[in-house]
A and B are shown apart, each in its own frame.
Chain A
Amino acid sequence: MIEIINIIYLIAGVTLIFFSPTVLLYKFKKKYGLIFFETYLINIILILNIFLILSFFTLNLNYIFFLFIIIGIANVFYLYKKYNFNKNYLFLIFLLFSFLYSIKIASNLKLEWDGAVIWIFRAINFYEGFSFWNLKNVHDGSLAYPHLGTYGWALVWKNSFVDYEYTGRIFYILIYLISICVAINKYYFNFITSIALVFVFTTLTFDQALFSGYQEPLMFSLIIFIFLLIHKINKSNSLNFLHWTCVINANLILWVKNEGVAFVIYILLILLIEKKIKKKIKIFFLLSFSTLILMKFLIFNFYFTENLTGWKGYQFINFNQFLSYEILQRIPFLIFQLIIIFFKYPIYIIFILFVSYRILIKNFKHDNLKYLIFFILNCLMSFSIYYFVDDPRWHFHASVTMDRILYQTSGIYLIFILNFYQKYFLNPK
């Protein structure tokens, strides 16, 4: 029983932490037409950036947790009436599902491969009160891995009554569910539709193995966040607070996993081809994203003298081998892997069907292009990593890691599917 109470306490604690700094954002509510979950999303991005900064200092995780809870409670009291929390049933659905998935993690608390070999040691580093700079002293530490997710994991674990690492992974569950709820909340569905959609989308995208110590669910959520923000910034002409939020969201993506660099470059590309964004804002994105990538690269290169592409020991094949018979033989296997992954994460199948339908009826608008570009780029990247590697075990790596690369970005197709659902089923005219 104590474990169930502990889970409820942690869900409440983390949820409260992300209520701040709503007070500061209140003036933007009307200006940018922010609904409750959008404010909550911006809170998460801001708070996670603060956590990222705090992770570079040796600070007591208990103090941080309770300080943010107190600030969160103050925000709830101040804004209780303004946001109508009691009528926000999607928030109740979010809390319900958080509980259900947290007990799922608790009942099957196994850490999967990377979780037990890489990420847990980083979480232990923060759990024991050390900072980012101590990561080079950690057991078997693959130095070139970013650490943001493990800081959140350690923060929640440290403040749990039950001293088991699984409690920290509730952090990933909450952010994952918030990302799904924010996407759904954009369309004002009724209670029954909302709960059904949350259930369907979590069934389609919840992969228990990936919540067993991997960082993929966090990346999944942050990419949904940034796409929702891109939707929002499309409506504003001048450089404003939302553009900055987009930039700091990209910063989070960089500090979760190394693939984040590739994802940030894709997002930048999408922003650059977006018609509705003005030229000077595009330059702003280009400069700020490049600075963030460079900053992360410099920190890792100077301090850890390591920067990772692919996996440890990854080497490219020689240029003259690109089209050799031996390498070309990889193509059928990799295509087959891609198809398997589409079935493993059926969100891809639904996306491909809906895109095909839109192209067939000649109703594929420029707005939807970003999803297609992201899909193509991500498939190409996943394919290229294993095609160009000089490693006799390339097929092993492809069969155990390719699915995770594709999972991380699969969340954005939820937005496309929701758009489609709303357009053709709710407002068919």
Chain B
Amino acid sequence: MKILKLKLLLACVVLLILILHLNKSFLDIYSLLKFEPHERMTKIYGDCGGESYGFIKKISKIYNKKLNLRVLNDNPNFTFNNSTWFTYNVNKDYDKDKIILINNINSLKYLDENKYQLIFKNKNLGYFKILQKDNTCFFLQRI
């Protein structure tokens, strides 16, 4: 009886390990233990590229969060999706003077060191200076 119970227990353990393996649960646990959520988010959404989670979070830390920041993230081929929700707060207006521009260097027209014209999707959004830059990601202030 004791041996039978032991065999049953062993069968259950083997079955459990098999399910964990087939379900890639060991890999999931490893990923959770190895990487912080912020790191996993940056890995998935990109630092500056795709949804650019890393850059947007970095800006939101230095920015006074009284207003929401508009994120311009041109996506003609549905290759990545919305980035606005990373820092979005309900019932707050959007800051009209500050904009985050992602993955779109062609939208900025150089005028001089502190003056750029922003044309996004053929729409002239005015003149800006760059507050922060990281590759093709920009934090812009209206002038």
For A96, list chain B residues within 8 Å (CB): 16
Cα of A162 to Cα of B36 in the assembled complex, Å: 11
Residues of B within 8 A of A125 (CB): 90
Are A137 and B25 in contact, CB atoms less than 8 angstroms apart?
A: no
In the bound complex, residues from chain B placing their C-beta under 8 Å from that of A292 are none
Chain A interface main SS type: helix
CB distance from A350 to the nearest CB of B (A): 19
Q: Is A273 close to B, CB under 8 A?
A: no
Give every chain B residue within 8 A of A44 (Cβ-Cβ). Answer: none
Q: Does B82 contact A (CB under 8 A)?
A: yes
Q: Is the CB of A3 within 8 A of B19?
A: no
CB-CB under 8 A from A1, the residues of chain B are 33
Q: Can you list 28 A-B contacts (CB < 8 A)?
A: A100-B19, A100-B23, A104-B24, A106-B28, A106-B37, A108-B28, A109-B37, A109-B44, A110-B44, A113-B78, A116-B81, A116-B85, A117-B81, A120-B85, A121-B90, A124-B90, A125-B90, A128-B91, A130-B91, A139-B68, A139-B88, A140-B84, A162-B37, A164-B37, A166-B37, A192-B11, A199-B19, A199-B22
Q: Does B41 sit within 8 A of A, measured CB to CB?
A: yes
B82 contacts A116, C-beta separation under 8 Å: yes
Contacts of A104 in B (CB 8 A): 23-25, 28
Is B32 an interface residue, CB under 8 A from the partner? yes
Q: Would you call B15 and A124 a contact (CB within 8 A)?
A: no
Is B29 at the interface (CB under 8 A from chain A)? Answer: yes
The answer to whether B15 and A195 touch across the interface, beta carbons within 8 angstroms, is yes
Minimal Cβ-Cβ distance residue in B for A400:
B78
Smallest CB gap from B38: residue in A: A164
Q: How many residues of A contact B (CB 8 A)?
A: 36
Q: How many residues of B contact A (CB 8 A)?
A: 32
Docked complex Cα distance between A203 and B32 (Å): 22
Main SS at interface, chain B: helix
A103 at interface by CB-CB < 8 Å: yes
Q: How far is the CB of B99 from chain A (nearest CB, A)?
A: 15
- Residues of A close to B82: CB separation below 8 A: 116-117
CB distance B90 to A134 under 8 Å? yes
B143 at the interface (CB under 8 A from A): no
Cβ of A138 within 8 Å of any chain B Cβ, yes or no, is yes
- The CA-CA distance from A162 to B19 in the complex, in Å, is 27
Closest CB in chain B relative to A133 CB, distance in Å? 12
CB distance from B68 to the nearest CB of A (A): 8
Contact B32 A106 (CB under 8 A): yes
With contact pairs A113-B81, A116-B81, A116-B85 given, residues A130 and B41 touching in the complex (Cβ less than 8 Å): no
Contact with B along A1-18 (1 / 0, CB 8 A): 101100000000000000
B31 interface residue per 8 A CB criterion: yes
Q: Which residues of A contact B44 (CB under 8 A)?
A: 108-110
